[in-house]
Structure 1
Amino acid sequence: MGLLKSIAQIKPTKNIEVNDNSPTFEEQRKTYHEDGHATSRSCQGRSENLQASLDAIYFKFENKCKKEEIEQIKLKQPYVTELKGKKTLSLTKDEELQREKERIEEKENKIEKLRSDIVHVRRSPQDFGIPVDRRSTSKFWIGSILLTFLTVYIFIFYISTSFSAFFRTFDPSTELFGGMFYPKALQEAYDAGALELGFILFIPFVFFGLGYLIHIFMYKHSIGNIFKVILLFITTFIFDALLAYLIDEKLYNLNKTFEDPDFSIAVAFSSPSFWVIIFAGFVSYIIWGLVFDIVMKEHADKDKIENYISSLESEIKNLLQIIDKQNDTILSLEKVISENKIRCSELEDIIDGFILPIRNYKALSSEYLQGWQECITSEIVLGPEQTRDYLNECRKVYDTHITKLDLDTDDYQNKVYTKTL
C-alpha cells in the first residue's frame, strides 16, 4: 500500500443510516482498555511486550478498517462529494475555456479583416463609403507641383514689382519687362535697410493670406461668404492696380516729352503696360488661389482616408488589448483546470484505496495503554520508584509507536492510503 502525500481534512457529513451490529466506539474503547489490562497482567507490564502488543493491535485495527466496507463508505463520502463537485467544475471551466478561445479567434479574424481593409481602402475608398474621387491622389500631387511653381513666381513678381513701385529709381534704358522684374531687388532692398527688405519680403504673404481666406470662405457656401470672396478679389485687384499705376507712372515720366500730358488715371487706363502689370500679377494670383483650393480639397479627401485608417488602427489596438486580457483569463482557466484534474486524480485514488481514522486509533490505543498502566499500578507488586520507571518506559514505548506510524499530529483526522500500481 502507498500512503498518499496529501492528507485531506474530512468535513462532517450527514449520518448514513445503516443497520449494523458492530460494537459502538465506546464499547471498543472499553474492550481495548480491558485487553491492555489483561495483557499487561500476563507479561508483568514489561515495556518490550507493550511494543509488540501495540504493533499487533495497530495491524488488527488496520485490517478491520479495510474490511469494514460500510465504515469506509462513510469515511469516503466527503471525497466522493468533492469529486463530483470537481468534475462539475471541470466541465464548467472547460466550457468557459472553449468560449474564451472562440472569442479570441473571432477577434483575431476581425483584426485580420481590419488590416486587409487598411490595405484596400487606399485603393478603393468608395467601397468603404468614403466619398472621394479616385483621381484625388494624382490631382493632389499635380496641384502641389503647380502650386509650388506658382508660389515661386508670385514671390519673384511681387518682390520685384513692390520694390520697383516704392523704392526703385528707373533709368532711361528701363523697359516694361525691366520695370516688373528687377533681379537686383533683394540686393538693393538689403542695402537700403532692414525695413525696406522686410517690406518687400513680406508683401507676397499678404496675397497668400488673401488666397487662403478665399479658400476658407469658399469652403462653406453662403451669401455672406460669396460677398467676402468678391470683396477680397476687388481688394487684390486694387492693390495690383496700385502697383501697376506706380510702376507705369515712373516709366511714363521717364520717357515723357513737353507735349505729353501729365500721367493720370485716364492715361494709365489707356496704357497697355498698366494692364500687362496688373494681369501679370492678378491673373497669376487667381490661378494660385484656384490651384490652392483644389489642393486643399484633395488633401481633405486624403484626410478622410487617413482618418478612416486611423479609426481602423485604433480598433485593432483595442481588440489586441482585449485579446491580452482574454489570454490572461485563459491562462487562469487552464491553471484551474490543471489543478482540478490533479485533485480529481487524487480523489479517485483515495476512493479506490482505504481510509484509516487515526484519531479513533489513537483513542483506542490510548485506552489500551491506560489499561496496561492500570495493571502495573494495581496488580503488579513493585516498589514506588520501579513502578514509576515502568510507567514512564511504557509511555515512551507508546509515543515511539505513534511517531513511527506518523500519527503524532492533530492536524487531520484520517490517514489516506491508495493502491499502488
Structure 2
Amino acid sequence: MIPKIENFFSSKPMEQPQDEDVELKEPANEENVEVRKITFHEAGFRDGSRNSGSPLALSICLNAIYAKFQNEEKELVEKQKQAKEPYLNEKSEKEIEIKALAISKTNKEEQIKTVEGNIRLVKDTIEDLKFEINDLVRNPEKYHISASKGASTKFWIGLIILLPLSLYLFTFYISTSYSAFFKQFDATSTVIMNILDSKAFEKAWKDGGLEGAFVTFIPFVFLGLGYLIHMFGENKSWKNYTKIGLLFLTTFIFDAILAYQIEESIYKANREIDSPPFNLWIAFSKIQFWGIIFAGFVVYVIWGVVFDFIMKEHREKDKIKHEQQRRQKDIQIHKDRITDIESQKEILITELANIKESTVKAEGRIIELQRIIDSVIIPTKEYVLYASEYVKGWITFVSEKLRISQTEKNNLQNDCIACYHENLKNVGASDDAQNAVYLPAL
C-alpha cells in the first residue's frame, strides 16, 4: 500500500491561454506512455490486493499518486517553460498594451486640459463683450467709435422741439394755402383773420375734395423739401451745397407766392376807386407780406436745422447700437462655440474613462497571468490517463481475485469509481481543461 501523503498544494482549474493553437509537448514517446500505463495498471492491481479493494484506501492512494505526479511535473523545467510560454507572451502583450494605454491616457488628459482652457478663454471673452456693451454708451471713443456721449438725450430733446414745430408748419401752411387759393376775403375782416383762418381745414373739405386734399397735403411738400436738404447735407460737396441753396430758394419763393396771393386778395377786398393796381412793389411795402414769409420760411429753416440735428444724433445713436448688436451676436456665437467645445470635452472624458477601464482590466489580467507563471502547470489529461489505468488495475483485482459475492463486488466497484471521479473533481481534471494551475498554499 502506498503510504498516506499530505497534500501541500491547493488547486484550481487552469485558465486556457488565449492562443488556442499552442500545444504542449509530451515528455515521452508513445511507447513510453504505454509502458507507463501498464506500470500504473499493475500498481493499481497490487495496491488493490493489499487493501482488499477498499474505496477509502483507493482515495488515499489516488491522492498520493497525484502528489507524486505533481512533484514530477514540477521538476520538468523545460516542460513547464513550454507550458507557460503562451502566458508569458500574453503578459508581454498586456504590458505593451498598458504602456500604450498610459500614453493615450496622458494625451487625453492633456486634450481635456486644453479644451477646459479654451472654454475659460471663451467665457472670459463673453464677459469682456458684456462689459463693452454697457461701456459703449459712456466711452464710445475708447472703442474707436466716432459717436458723441449722451447722444440719446440730445436726440429726445431735439425730437420734443421738432414735434410742435411740425404741428405749427402744418397749421400755418394749411391756413395760408387755403387763404391764398380758395378763400373769399371780406373787407370787414381783420388782417389776421384773412391770413390765418382757424377753420381753413374744415372749410376746404366743405368746398370740395380737391380743395381739401390740396390744403391737407401741401405741408408735406415743405417737409419733403426739408428732408431733401438734410439728405444733400449728408455728403459734403459743392454740388450738394448748390442743391441745398436751390431748395432754400424754392421754399422762399413758394412762401413769397403764398404771401403775394394773400396780400393781393386782401388789397382787392379793400381797394378804393382811385387805388392803383396791385403789384410787386406794393406787396413789398406791406408788413404783413413779410410777416407771412418769415412766419413760414424762418420757422421752416428752424425746423430743417432741428431735423438735421436729430438725424445726426440718431446716426450717432445707431453707431453705438450697431456696435452693441454686433457684440450681442458675437456673444451668441461664443456661447454656441462653448456648447461645441463642451461636447468635445464629454467625448474626451468618455474616451478617458474607457482607457482607464481597459488599463484596469489589463492590469488585472497581468496579475492573473503572473500567478499562473509563478505556479506549477499540471497536464491533467495525462494524469487522467494514468489514474484511470491505476483504477482499472484496482477494479480488476476486485473483479477477479476478491472472494465476495457478485453483489458486493458490484457495490465495491461502484464505490471505487465514485472515489475516482471525486479525485478527478478535487484535482481539477475535466474534459474541458487540458491543464490545471496549482498555487502553493499559504
The change in CA–CA distance for 1:135 and 1:70 in structure 2 (over 3 A counts) is: same
For the 8 Å contact 1:356–1:415, the answer to whether it is kept is no
The one-character-per-residue Cα deviations of 1:147-190 (angstroms, maximum 9, x if unpaired) are 11111111111111111111222223332322332221221222
Q: Computing the radius of gyration over CA atoms, which structure comes out larger, 1 or 2?
A: 2
Secondary structure of 1:346's match? helix
Give yes or no for the alignment of 1:113 onto 2:124.
Answer: no
Report the AA paired with residue 278 of structure 1: I
Greater shift in the superposed pair: 295-304 or 263-272 = 263-272
Q: Give ranges in structure 2 of 5+ residues lacking alignment.
A: 1-9, 46-57, 75-79, 373-378, 390-395, 397-420, 438-442
Fraction of identical pairs, as percent: 35
For the 8 Å contact 2:112–2:345, the answer to whether it is kept is yes
Spell out the pairing of 1:173-192 with structure 2 (5 A cutoff): 173-192=188-207
For residue 27 of structure 1, what is the aligned residue in structure 2? 26
The change in CA–CA distance for 1:38 and 1:291 in structure 2 (over 3 A counts) is: farther
Report the AA paired with residue 263 of structure 2: D
The one-character-per-residue Cα deviations of 1:234-263 (angstroms, maximum 9, x if unpaired) are 111111111111111111111111121121
For residue 393 of structure 1, what is the aligned residue in structure 2? none
For the 8 Å contact 1:211–1:289, the answer to whether it is kept is yes
For the 8 Å contact 1:189–1:196, the answer to whether it is kept is yes
Q: Quote the Cα distance in structure 2 between the aligned partners of 1:335 and 1:90.
A: 11
Q: Quote the Cα distance in structure 2 between the aligned partners of 1:215 and 1:126.
A: 26
Q: Quote the Cα distance in structure 2 between the aligned partners of 1:87 and 1:121.
A: 51
Offset of residue 373 of structure 1: 11
For residue 129 of structure 1, what is the aligned residue in structure 2? 144
For the 8 Å contact 1:33–1:370, the answer to whether it is kept is no
TM-score (norm. length: structure 2): 0.70
Q: Give ranges in structure 1 of 5+ residues lacking alignment.
A: 13-23, 358-363, 375-380, 382-396, 417-421
Give yes or no for the alignment of 1:250 onto 2:265.
Answer: yes
Secondary structure of 1:25's match? coil
For the 8 Å contact 2:381–2:429, the answer to whether it is kept is no
Report the AA paired with residue 25 of structure 1: L
For the 8 Å contact 1:154–1:281, the answer to whether it is kept is yes
CA-atom RMSD in angstroms:
4.6
For residue 253 of structure 2, what is the aligned residue in structure 1? 238
The one-character-per-residue Cα deviations of 1:321-376 (angstroms, maximum 9, x if unpaired) are 1111110111111111111111111111111222799xxxxxx77788899999xx
Offset of residue 34 of structure 1: 6.0
Q: Quote the Cα distance in structure 2 between the aligned partners of 1:11 and 1:157.
A: 107
Q: Give every structure 1 segment of 4 or more consecutive aligned residues whose post-TM-superposition deviation is greater than 3 Å.
A: 7-12, 28-44, 63-72, 364-374, 404-409
Q: Quote the Cα distance in structure 2 between the aligned partners of 1:368 and 1:268.
A: 143
Offset of residue 37 of structure 1: 6.4
For the 8 Å contact 1:66–1:354, the answer to whether it is kept is no
For the 8 Å contact 1:217–1:225, the answer to whether it is kept is yes
Q: Quote the Cα distance in structure 1 between the aligned partners of 2:232 and 2:175.
A: 29
Spell out the pairing of 1:136-147 with structure 2 (5 A cutoff): 136-147=151-162
For the 8 Å contact 1:210–1:232, the answer to whether it is kept is yes
Spell out the pairing of 1:14-413 with structure 2 (5 A cutoff): 25-27=24-26, 72-354=87-369
For the 8 Å contact 1:37–1:368, the answer to whether it is kept is no
Report the AA paired with residue 353 of structure 2: S
Secondary structure of 1:27's match? coil
